[in-house]
Amino acid sequence: MIDLLIRGALVYDGTGAPPQHADVAVAGGRIARVAPCIDAVDAVDAVDAVDAVDAVDAVARTVDADGLALMPGIIDSHTHFDAQITWDPTLRPSPALGVTTAVIGNCGFTIAPCRPADRELTMRNLTQVEGMSLDALRAGIDWGFESFADYMAQLRRRGCAINVAAYAGHSSVRTYVMGADAARRAASADEIARMQDIVRDAMRHGAVGFATSTSPAHNGEGGLPMPSRLADDAEMAALVGAMAEAGRGVYMLTKGGHTKVSFLESLAAATGRPVMIAALLHNGTNPRAVFDDLDAIAAANERGHRLLGQVSCCPLTMDFTLASPYPVEGLASWKPALGLSGDALKAKLAEPSFRDAVRAELATPATFRLFNNEWDKVHVVEVARPEHARLEQRSIAEIARAAGGDPLDAMLDLALDEDLQTVFTAQLLNSDEEAVGRMLNHPHSIVSLSDAGAHLTFFNDAGFGLHLLGHWARDRGAMTIEEAVRRLTSHPATVLGLRGRGAIRAGHAADLLLFDPRTVGRGPKRRVRDLPAGGARLTTDAVGVHGVWVNGRQVADAHGILPGVPLAGALLTDFDG
C-alpha cells in the first residue's frame, strides 16, 4: 500500500545533484520509491517504473505536482523552541515555512535540567537573553520534568508536528550544579565533575550534542552573564570531553570575540567531534573579521579537524524599544542600565555620564558587536505620541541632523518622551549581500541561525530556507537551486548525524517540501498576538509552498499549517557518530 504518490515534480534530491522529473512514492512514513517520469525517460523504463507503483500497490492519495519542485524538508539547525514546544507542539511558524526538523537548545539556553527552585531564574534569564516574554513563559511552560531525561520523555509523550533534536545546554547544566552562583564564578573541580555526569546522562538520553555560549551579547537576569560565560577553558574541555565519550555528538557554541578558533580546534582535535561555531554575521564596520574566522576554520579543516561556521542568509534586523533594547545590551557601557526598569531605567538613560560612556564605546571598532554606531540604519517604526508622527520611517541620523544634535541623544530623548514606548528598527549585521553571498558559499559554513522560537518581538527568520531558495538562489544566482537545497537538507543532516534524513532516496524518512520555484520565498513580517498570556510575536508567511510532509504525513499546504495538524514529528535520539 502506497500512502502518498507525488507525481511529476522536479525532484531536488538534497545531494546537490541536478534535479530530475520523478514520481515519489511514500509508504509507512518512508520514501518507498523514486521513479523517473514517463516524459523524462525512454518509454520502456518509464512504463516499468510508473506501472510498478500504480499496478502493484494501491495508492491512498495522489498529488499532481506538475510544474512544482520537490525537495527534502528543511533542517533548521539553530532554533530556541525549548520552551515553546511545551505549550505549542506545532512549533509555529516553522512547519508552514518548509521546516521538517528543528534542533533546539542552541547556545546552551535550554530549560532542562532544572530544579523547581530554579524555574523562575531560568525564565528570567530566557526573557533577557532570548527576548522571550516572561508572562508567556510563566503561563506557557509545562514544567513536568526536572532532568534532561524527564524533559525528553515529556517531549516524546506529547509529540510534535516536526522532528526535533535537542542539545544538552551548558547554562542549564551549570545552574543545576551551582545554583545562582552559576552566573557569578568559575566552577570547582568537583562541580565540573558533576556537570560532566549530567552531560553524559543527556547523551545517553539522546542529546544531539553539547551547546554553549561565550558571547558577551548573552546576558541573563539583572544583566549578569549567562552562566556558560563563566566557564574557564578547563571546564569547557571537560564538558566537551564528556559529550565525546558517547562516540558521537556535535559541540555547538556561540563564540565571543575572546574565544579563539585555535582553542576550539584543540577541542575538536582532542575529541574528534565536530565544532559548530555561531554566530558568523557580517559586520560592515569591520568587514574582514568574519572572514578571518572562516579562514581559521578552513585552516583547521585542512589539518583534519571538523569545524563549521554557522552563517545566516538573512540580514539581521531587529525591532526594539528602549524598555528592552537588545541591540545595545551587549555593550559594556550599557551594563548600568541592564536589569533596570520603569523610572530607574529612565533616570539612567537620561544621565549625561551614562550617555558619554556609551558614545565612547561605540566610537571604538569591535570584532563582534550587534550595533556599530550606524545611525543611518536605525529607524523609527512607530511613535506613541501623535505629535511625533512625522518622525516615523525616518532614520535617527536624519532626525539628529535636523535637530543639530547627537544621534544617541536623539534616540534616547525621543524614547524618554514617550515612556519608552517608541518602536525602533535597526539593521544591524549581514546586509552587505556581496559579502554574505561569499559566506553562504564558503566550503566550511553551514546555513543556519534562524533563532526560531526566540527574539519573537525583535525579528523572525524562521523562513530562512525559503529565503535562501528564492532570494539567493533564484533571484541573485548566488548558488544553484540544487546547491541551496543541499545546504538546507543533506548538509545539516550529515553534520548532525541525522540518520536517514535530508535526502529523497528510497528508505529515507518522507520529510518533503513541495514548492513552486518561480515564486518561493518568505513573506513580509507581521505581528500576531497568540502567545500564552496574550503576548505578541512577529511571524512570516510562506510564499510558493504547496505542501509539507513530516514522516509521510502532511502538516502544511498552500494556506499554511493544516488545521488539526498531526503531531507527525519524531523526537530524534539515534544519531550517526
Stretch that binds Zn ion, among 104-112, 317-325, 337-345, 514-522 (CB under 5 A): 104-112
Q: Tell me the C-alpha distance between 263 and 260, whole Å.
A: 5
220 vs 521 by CB, closer to Zn ion = 220
Residues 281-320 that bind Zn ion (CB under 5 A): none
Residues 558 and 191 sit within 8 Å (Cβ to Cβ): no
Q: Tell me the C-alpha distance between 453 and 141, whole Å.
A: 13
Pairing of strands 163-169, 209-213: parallel
148 vs 167 by CB, closer to Zn ion = 167
110 vs 554 by CB, closer to Zn ion = 110
Tell me the backbone φ, ψ of residue 485, rounded to 5 degrees.
-60, -45
167 vs 375 by CB, closer to Zn ion = 167
| Residue partners of 326: CB distance under 8 A and separation at least 6 | 131, 318, 320, 370, 455, 458
Stretch that binds Zn ion, among 98-106, 136-144, 289-297, 312-320 (CB under 5 A): 98-106
107 binds Zn ion (CB under 5 A): yes
Q: Tell me the C-alpha distance between 93 and 81, whole Å.
A: 11
Stretch that binds Zn ion, among 103-111, 245-253, 325-333, 568-576 (CB under 5 A): 103-111
Residues 167 and 252 sit within 8 Å (Cβ to Cβ): yes
239 vs 252 by CB, closer to Zn ion = 252
- Which H helix or E strand runs over 125? helix 119-129
212 vs 283 by CB, closer to Zn ion = 212
213 binds Zn ion (CB under 5 A): no
SS3 555: strand
Q: Tell me the C-alpha distance between 90 and 92, whole Å.
A: 6
107 vs 268 by CB, closer to Zn ion = 107
The CB-nearest residue to Zn ion is 107
Q: How far is the CB of 553 from Zn ion (least distance, A)?
A: 29
What cell was used for 14? 538534497
259 vs 373 by CB, closer to Zn ion = 259
- HSE on the CB side for 401, CA within 13 Å? 7
Question: How distant, in Å, are the alpha carbons of 92, 308, 333, 376 from that of 427?
Answer: 25, 25, 21, 9
How many amino acids of this chain bind Zn ion (CB under 5 A)?
Answer: 2
- HSE on the CB side for 129, CA within 13 Å? 29
103 binds Zn ion (CB under 5 A): no
Q: Tell me the C-alpha distance between 19 and 507, whole Å.
A: 19
554 binds Zn ion (CB under 5 A): no
Q: How far is the CB of 277 from Zn ion (least distance, A)?
A: 12
Q: How far is the CB of 310 from Zn ion (least distance, A)?
A: 9
Stretch that binds Zn ion, among 102-110, 439-447, 458-466, 551-559 (CB under 5 A): 102-110
107 vs 504 by CB, closer to Zn ion = 107
Q: Tell me the C-alpha distance between 303 and 158, whole Å.
A: 44
277 binds Zn ion (CB under 5 A): no
Q: How far is the CB of 79 from Zn ion (least distance, A)?
A: 8
| Residue partners of 121: CB distance under 8 A and separation at least 6 | 175, 180, 221
Q: How far is the CB of 546 from Zn ion (least distance, A)?
A: 30
Q: How far is the CB of 401 from Zn ion (least distance, A)?
A: 36
378 binds Zn ion (CB under 5 A): no
425 binds Zn ion (CB under 5 A): no
Q: Tell me the C-alpha distance between 557 and 327, whole Å.
A: 35
106 binds Zn ion (CB under 5 A): yes
Q: Tell me the C-alpha distance between 477 and 113, whole Å.
A: 45
171 binds Zn ion (CB under 5 A): no
Q: How far is the CB of 108 from Zn ion (least distance, A)?
A: 9
Q: How far is the CB of 312 from Zn ion (least distance, A)?
A: 11
Q: How far is the CB of 495 from Zn ion (least distance, A)?
A: 17
- Encoded amino acid at 225, one letter: P
Rounded to the nearest 10 degrees, how much is the dihedral formed by the CA atoms of 144, 224, 331, 527? 20
Positions of E strands within 55-158: 62-64, 69-72, 74-76, 99-104
Q: Tell me the C-alpha distance between 286 and 349, whole Å.
A: 28
Q: How far is the CB of 36 from Zn ion (least distance, A)?
A: 42
Q: How far is the CB of 467 from Zn ion (least distance, A)?
A: 18
278 vs 504 by CB, closer to Zn ion = 278
229 vs 355 by CB, closer to Zn ion = 229
Using CB under 5 A as the criterion, which residues of the chain lie in contact with Zn ion when the complex forms? 106-107
